[in-house]
Amino acid sequence: MNNFLNNDITYLNLSNNISKVLKQHNILKVNDLWSKNRRNLKEIGMNDKDIKEIVIKLELNGLELNKRLNK
């Protein structure tokens, strides 16, 4: 799990716009993104559609926002 969390966010295959916003806010690793919650993402300009894409990509890898593991 730790190796996965250290991957660059590009590993999640997010849309270019989402990746660009995340990088502008120094969210560069999966672990950086995993530690955020929906409110944090809205504060940096993500809309509901963007957040849904992030949530789906994290869930496909067994993670949820706010540092939760899917079992």
* Alpha-carbon distances, residue 7 vs 12, 47, 52 (angstroms): 9, 24, 20
Other beta carbons within 10 Å of 33: 22
Residue 71: the pLDDT is: 52
Domains annotated for the chain, with CATH where assigned, are 2-69 (1.10.150.20)
Q: Would you say the pTM of this structure is higher than 0.75?
A: yes
pLDDT tens track for 28-70? 999 999 999 999 999 999 999 999 999 999 999 888 888 866 5
